[in-house]
Amino acid sequence: MAIPFPSFKRDPRHHSISTVYIAKGKGIPQAKDDALEIETFDESNLPDEIAFDHRSILSDYFKGAY
């Protein structure tokens, strides 16, 4: 499922839209050539620093908004 996430407050320089992809996976994730490491998170263990408005997007996801 892909959900567009527009917000006029994301970047004062221009209007931006993020697309949220929701999928289920299985197995053990492995970092490849585009990442040194990989981690999985749930609502209780998100990193303190998250770029842009991604915490808000994740909050909506955890609330079942999608």
pLDDT tens-place string over residues 17-62: 778 888 888 999 999 998 899 999 999 999 999 888 888 889 988 9
pLDDT classification of 1: cutoffs 50, 70, 90 = low
**What's the confidence (pLDDT) of residue 22?**
86
Phi, psi at residue 55, to the nearest 5°? -65, -40
Q: Give the pair of three-digit tokens for residue 32.
A: 């490849």
**What's the confidence (pLDDT) of residue 14?**
72
First to last CA, the chain: 9
pLDDT classification of 9: cutoffs 50, 70, 90 = low
